[in-house]
Amino acid sequence: MLRLVNVTKTFNPGSVNEKAALREITLHVKQGEVVTIIGSNGAGKSTLLNVIAGVYEIEAGKVLLDGQDITRWPEHIRAAWIGRVFQDPLRGTAASMTIEENLALALRRGRPRRLHRGITPAERQLFKEHLALLGLGLEERLTTRVGLLSGGQRQALTVLMATIATPKLLLLDEHTAALDPRTARTVLELTEKIIARHQLTTLMVTHNLEQALRTGNRTIMMHEGRIILDLSGPQRAGTTVADLLKMFEQASGSAFADDRVLLTGS
């Protein structure tokens, strides 16, 4: 489904600020696989998602999605195939627009004429059904402006928006990190429900090591622009956070350094 071959990304090449953020990354993610990504500070996790989404061009390597070479495709073209949720709940939604307007934009992403023809009754019904699955009562508030929602409600809506057009790939960049622990748990549960419903191939960056092991079916660990660990199957099932930290030290030769890392569940 997603294939990265020798992907290399260097920021500010040739200057004193040169930074190799991704070093010959090769990764194959199968259809329906849910991969959590962890790593030390500045390991290249966000850059990896940005390169897949087309935010940054790469100097070397290839990105293939569903058999197509998308390496040179611009971000807005890839957006029709790739759903994305960021850490900041304000980033994925338009505050001054209503819930149904936000969902309509998301549903028509990558198609011409966006909001031009208004929202149809069939679309409204579809939005209600999807919102009801969140269990937050938002299906009764279709015409509420999104700016009036709480951070958790807004992030749950963003996950719905990122997935309503059933993307080929879902990218989650620490999407629960800015929420309080209880809300973070709720949003993660909703995310898992939506992923399972559509069997979405997903990459999720997290600082929560417990969450990384519990969510999805594969965990990769990055360090200094490289993938240094790739766990799945029974090996992953038997891995604890303490094991993970030890594995990291063995593979990288240094202690796991992350200012925001959460070692226990929240």
Ligand X SMILES: Nc1ncnc2c1ncn2[C@@H]1O[C@H](COP(=O)(O)OP(=O)(O)OP(=O)(O)O)[C@@H](O)[C@H]1O
Strand order in the sheet with 201-205: 82-85, 169-173, 201-205, 34-39, 218-223, 226-232
Among 6, 26, 41, 235, binds ligand X (CB under 6 A): 41
Q: Does 87 bind ligand X (CB under 6 A)?
A: no
Of positions 44, 89, 92, 216, contacts ligand X by CB under 6 A: 44
Q: In terms of CB distance, is 116 or 260 closer to ligand X?
A: 260
Interface segment toward ligand X; rule CB under 6 A; list 36-44, 82-90, 95-103, 208-216: 36-44
Query: Does the protein bind ligand X through residue 21 (CB under 6 A)?
Result: yes
Do residues 138 and 129 lie in contact, with contact meaning Cβ atoms separated by under 8 Å?
no
Mask for 149-188, x = binds ligand X (CB under 6 A): ----------------------------------------
Of 33 and 174, which has the nearer Cβ to ligand X? 174
Measured from the CB of residue 259, what is the shortest distance to ligand X in angstroms?
Answer: 7
Judged by CB under 6 A, the stretch of 34-42, 61-69, 83-91, 211-219 that binds ligand X is 34-42
Among 3, 24, 42, 263, binds ligand X (CB under 6 A): 42
The residues, ordered by sequence, that sit 6+ positions from 71 with a Cβ below 8 Å of its Cβ are 58, 61, 62, 63, 64
Residue 11 engages ligand X in binding (rule: CB under 6 A)? yes
Residue 19 binds to ligand X (criterion: CB under 6 A): yes
**Of 36, 47, 201, 239, which lies in the binding site for ligand X, with binding defined by CB under 6 A?**
47
Using CB under 6 A as the binding rule, whether residue 254 contacts ligand X is answered as no
Contact call for residue 23 and ligand X (CB under 6 A): no
| Closer to ligand X by Cβ: residue 47 or 163 | 47
The residues binding ligand X (CB under 6 A) are 11-12, 19, 21, 39, 41-47
